[in-house]
Amino acid sequence: MGKAPAPFSGLLAQPIVRPSPLVAALIAHGYRDRPAAVEAISEVLATWVDREKCRKLLLLADRYGVDVTKQAGWALLCLRIAEEFIPGFSVVDERRGRGRPRRSDNFDLVQAVDKLCKEGMTIYRACQQLSRKRKSRWYNRSPDALANEYRRWLKKINVVQSDFFNACDTAAKGASNGRE
End-to-end CA distance of the chain: 43
pLDDT above 90 coverage of the chain, percent = 23
Distance between CA atoms of residues 70 and 67, nearest Å = 6
Judge if pTM exceeds 0.85: no
**Of 90, 143, 82, 86, which is closest to residue 112 (Cα–Cα)?**
143
Residue 160, pLDDT score: 56
> Residue ranges per domain, the chain?
10-89, 107-177
Q: Does residue 42 contact residue 24 with C-beta atoms inside 8 Å?
A: yes
**Residues in the chain with pLDDT < 70?**
1-6, 93-105, 157-165, 176-180
Contacts of 132 (CB under 8 A, 6+ apart): 139
Residue 180, pLDDT score: 46
For residue range 17-54, list pLDDT tens digits in order: 888 888 888 888 888 888 888 888 888 889 989 999 99
Distance between CA atoms of residues 112 and 18, nearest Å = 67
